[in-house]
Amino acid sequence: MALPPLTNPVKQKLAAGGTVLGLGVRMSRSAEIARIARATGHDFLFIDVQHSLFNLETIGHIAQAAVALGVAPFARVRSVHDAEVQALLDNGVTGIVYPDVNTAEDARAAVAAVRFAPLGRRSVTGGYPYYDFAAVPPAEALPAVDAMTFLACMIETREGVANVEAIAATPGIDVIHVGMNDLLTDMGKPGQYADPELQAAIDRIIAACRANKVHFGCGGQRDPKAQAAIIRRGARFLTTQTDIGLLSAGAGAWTRGIQAALEAG
């Protein structure tokens, strides 16, 4: 039986000129989060390995469920030197988000871990879950897996902004993603989203993305109106909110609703 071609819904939507939205995953430990993402209009999971206590097996289970449901499972790893990237990619994760990319050397290290030769140094295995573990000849499997795999590099420091043109010019990157909270903290201005230095940095990152035909992404400010504004400005890859944030907001709104109803008699 012929296997269907591999696809990544995020890469497809971006190629068509669309905007993709990701649900941050920090607390959930089962495949249900992929179903919730799909039902709520999210295109990808942003599994936050950097700030959470996931193990590899849990990530693999969530990722393989997400792939089957048509939601792209991406993992934000701990650094460009994270040794678990290979295992994540070989067991269901279809994209890697690298935090704190500050130089072209960092960007090349990211590409080397995620891409097969000749562009990178990703090791070859057999029985990829994207093919339901079927044996597929390497000449067919490797180009398809490589084309499906997504790579984002995050700019989170003044150094990263200063080097963004060289970072964006590194072959093999799909998205340059600005982490506003870390960037503002590096600037000594935490939470000051309207600050002119941040706004100038965003303009510079957008220009570097356009010049190198990579997509601009943004995360950090958890306000729907602000997220709509950055989409209008050119962002095509956004994280909306985390599972923790959504649960806390919903639970708080509910108890406040009960209290308000009691006070109203």
- Please say whether the beta carbons of 101 and 159 come within 8 A: no
Distance CA 48, CA 71 (A): 16
Known catalytic residue at 42 = no
Q: Which two tokens stand for residue 37?
A: 């993402």
Q: Please give the single-letter amino acid code of residue 8.
A: N
Distance CA 166, CA 235 (A): 20
Distances (CA, A) of 148 to 10, 92, 116, 189, 202: 9, 12, 12, 38, 28
Query: In a 3-state reduction of DSSP, which class is residue 2?
Result: coil
Q: Render 19-83 in DSSP notation, one character per residue.
A: -EEEEEESS--STHHHHHHHHTT-SEEEEETTTS---HHHHHHHHHHHHHHT-EEEEE-S-TT-T
- Report residue 209: phi and psi, to 5°: -65, -50
The count of other CB atoms within 10 Å of the CB of residue 158 is 15
What single string gives the DSSP state of each residue in 69-83? HT-EEEEE-S-TT-T
Distance, in Å, from the CA atom of 24 to the CA atom of 187, rounded to the nearest integer, reads 25
Of 51, 61, 177, 215, catalytic: 51
Task: Tell me if 80 sits within 8 A of 86, measured CB to CB.
Answer: no
Task: Report, as residue numbers or ranges, the catalytic residues.
Answer: 51
